[in-house]
Amino acid sequence: MPGYRDFVPREGFQRTLALSPDGSMVAYSSNASGHFDLWTVPVAGGKPRRLTRLTERAVRQIAWAPDGKSLVFTADRGGDEQYRLYRIGLEDDAPVELSPGHDCQRVLAKFPFDPGGRFLAYAANDRDATVQDVLVRDLAEDTERRVQPPPGVIFEPVGISPDGRWLLISGFRSNSQMAAYLVDFEDPTIDPRCVTADHGDGFFEPGPWAADSSGFYLRTDRWGEYISAAFYRLDTGILEPVARHDWDVEHIDVAGDTLVWSINVDGCSTLHARHGEDDLPLPSIPPGVITALALAPKAQPIAVLLGTATRPTEVAVLDAVNGLRYLTHARPPVLTVIEPVEPEPVVYPAFAGREIHALFYRPNTPGPHPALLSIHGGPEAQERPMYLRAGLYQHLLAQGIAIFAPNIAGSTGYGSTHQKLIYRNWGGIDLDDLDHAARYLQAHPDIDGNRIAVMGGSYGGFAALSCLSRLPYNWAAGVSLYGPTNLVTLARACPPTWKHFVATVLGDPDTDAEYLTQRSPVTYADAITAPLFILQGARDPRVARAESDQLIARLRDRGVDVRYDVFDDEGHGFTNRENELRAHEQIAHFLCSHLL
């Protein structure tokens, strides 16, 4: 029987992708070297080329310079989320740092350059740790212009208009409150103007500019529960619908007169394209998820990061002549001899007549099977059909363990009402949805109700610990990857720029301390009896190691079977490939030992 590492992809990718201005090269961040470095690969196919050798840093965001001769990127050290900004030419031996000053959170604009490549837009909280400004750097004169946000708003630059006059900025208050701001480069005395305020206080996420600078595209919930694509006209202030569906529009990109967007249909990405007023036929893609998208004029080609439940995420391109072509080769050989499992979309009942969508993976062998209840992070995220946790899902399935992955309250993809149910209600309605998930599994004829474990990472780790400590089931085991145990501590430890966001979504650690304590798993630690595995990054800037230390000490004092692995060189998640594989290998062993 193959072991866990037989299922591991040959490489993993950050969710960033950039197509060169001439459409001939794709740049991406891969850990094929053991760390997340910057790579390029020809669109026509060929051997990928590694441009950086960052043994201590991980490449996070990437953009091409307009002349196609160099790239800029952000990188942090050991997951500390203190991003620095670099530039590297295609023929350079090493990158050059562009970010002056001390460590802070720097965020590169999605379209960071002006057409001439002189100005570069990014965000940073260097002036005040609690405020994220936008900076426009003059690369020729080595100077910067700073744009400050209104109180309670996190600024992030989107792009400079093709005529060089306007800077488009996203103003973030929460995941469901976002607005578009404009800065006029011709008058440095004018403050940024919120141009979507007249259309409401909802979700208006600005995206790419039209080629003629007449306006920009954006994603918005202006017309209902789901996110549509729209166009904002600068001369009139009118917001025009571009694409409206009964599911969320997830990506938008533009090249010339060509518009491409993807829709999240019950977790699967579907692509659409339009050139001028005409719809463009596109090659079909397998049922899966597009995590990044870039295109050349007339959609020739479209570059994507595409993953499915049975094939790891890879860099691929689509064009009308050749269809879908993969440019990288991350698929492990074991998938050619073992049939990977596709998930079955199911819906189960929850409180007050609500219905919860879930993905149900069932082994190819006869049941009844032990099961893993797997909870996604976020909480404003979605369980989707992908090759998750570096092959862990498919390995467990090959061992005979079923996986049930629900999109409980707070999940995206099922309307704004469902998403907002989690606001200031962590450990409430979400836990009730997980209670109903456990009931669904226990009643299912293909599942052994006495052998159910629960696992999650980040918010999912919090939810898993909540299940173990607050739901009345005889859990077989639990796993928490960098999951918060104390919501008061979490609210205080989150990045300083998130203060308003955290108060809106989670709660204020000062005024809501009693409520947050009442919803924290550590409050109920004495109720945990199931074997537990906790994984923690020592450098985690969000979930402090002290939280996990406290919980572990209490469990061990009571004699609970608990394993605790601390990764000294990791933050909130894994940037070192060997650490990630070792962690998932140990999780696999732990779950198999308690479920089989």
Lowest mean pLDDT among 158-167, 347-356, 362-371, 501-510: 501-510
State mean pLDDT over 310-322.
90
The answer to whether the predicted template modeling score (pTM) of the entire model surpasses 0.85 is: yes
- Give 340-346's long-range contacts (Cβ < 8 A, gap of 24+): 340/309, 340/310, 340/311, 340/394, 340/397, 341/309, 341/310, 341/394, 341/397, 342/287, 342/309, 342/310, 342/385, 343/309, 343/385, 343/403, 343/405, 345/266, 345/267
What residue type is assigned to position 36 of the chain?
Answer: F
CA distance 30 to 14: 7
Q: In 3-state terms, what secondary structure has residue 527?
A: helix
Contact 539, 570 (CB under 8 A): yes
| Residue 119 clears pLDDT 80, i.e. is over it | yes
Q: Phi and psi dihedrals of 246, rounded to 5?
A: -90, 20
Give the count of beta carbons closer than 10 Å to the beta carbon of residue 232: 25
Instruction: Check if the beta carbon of residue 113 is closer than 8 Å to that of residue 160.
Output: yes
pLDDT band at 298; cut points 50, 70, 90: low
Confidence of residue 81 (pLDDT cuts 50, 70, 90): confident
pLDDT in tens, 6-53: 999 999 999 999 999 999 999 999 999 888 999 999 999 999 999 999
Q: Read off the pLDDT of each residue in 284-291 and give the average, rounded to a whole number.
A: 93
Domains parsed from the chain with CATH numbers: 99-244 (2.120.10.30), 356-595 (3.40.50.1820)
Confidence check: pLDDT of 80 > 80: no
Model confidence at 312, pLDDT cuts 50, 70, 90, reads very high
CA count, 13 A, side-chain hemisphere, 392: 21
**Which residues lie across from 219 on neighbouring strands?**
205, 229
The string of pLDDT tens digits covering residues 352-373 is: 899 999 999 999 999 899 999 9
Peptide bond into 379 cis (omega under 30): yes
Residue 527 near residue 492, CB atoms below 8 Å: no
pLDDT exceeds cutoff 90 at 550 = no
Judge contact between 522 and 489, C-beta under 8 A.
no
Say if CB 78 and CB 569 are below 8 A apart.
yes
CA distance readout (Å), 499 to 272, 348, 424, 504, 510 = 37, 35, 14, 9, 12
Contact 455, 469 (CB under 8 A): no
Q: Please determine, for residue 585, whether its predicted confidence score (pLDDT) is greater than 70.
A: yes
**Cα separation, 539 vs 81, whole angstroms:** 10
So what's the pLDDT on residue 355?
95
| Spatial separation of the C-alpha atoms in residues 312 and 400, rounded to whole Å | 21
Distance CA 187, CA 166 (A): 10
> 582: which 2 tokens?
């070792």
Q: Which residues pair with 209 in a beta bridge?
A: 216
- Please provide the DSSP assignment of 144-186 as one string: EEEEPPPTT-EEEEEEE-TTS-EEEEEEEEETTEEEEEEEETT
The amino acid at residue 40 is T
In the prediction, which pLDDT does 275 show? 84
Percent of the chain with pLDDT over 70: 99
Whether 113 shows a pLDDT value over 90: the answer reads: yes
419 pLDDT tier (thresholds 50, 70, 90) = very high
Collapsing DSSP to helix, strand or coil, 392 comes out as: helix
Residue 79 has pLDDT above 80, yes or no: no
Count other C-beta atoms under 10 Å from residue 533's C-beta.
Answer: 23
- What's the confidence (pLDDT) of residue 547? 84
Residue 26 contacts residue 314 (beta carbons within 8 Å): no
Q: Whole-angstrom Cα distance, residue 222 to residue 241?
A: 9
Percent of the chain with pLDDT over 90: 70
Mean pLDDT over 53-59 rounds to 87
Rounded Cα distance, 115 and 267, in Å: 36
Across 489-512, b (16+ Cβ under 10 Å) vs e yields bbbbbbbebbbbbbbbbbbbbeeb
Mean pLDDT of the chain: 91
Greatest pairwise CA separation for the chain in angstroms:
71
Closest Cα partner for 186 from 170, 166, 169, 168?
166
Amino acid at 201: D
In this predicted structure, the answer to whether residue 274 has a pLDDT above a threshold of 70 is yes
Q: What is the pLDDT of residue 552?
A: 92
Mean pLDDT value of segment 115-123 = 93
CA distance 226 to 537: 36
Residue 257 clears pLDDT 90, i.e. is over it:
no
Please name the amino acid found at residue 562: V
pLDDT digits (tens, 9 = 90+) for 425-480: 999 999 999 999 999 999 999 999 999 999 999 999 999 999 999 999 999 999 99
Average pLDDT over residues 291-309: 87
Average pLDDT of the segment spanning 330-354: 93
Q: What is the C-alpha radius of gyration for the chain, rounded to an integer number of angstroms?
A: 24
pLDDT of residue 73: 95
- Residue 61's SS3 state is strand
Of residues 181 and 492, more confidence is placed in 181
Phi, psi of 51, rounded to the nearest 5 degrees: -95, -25
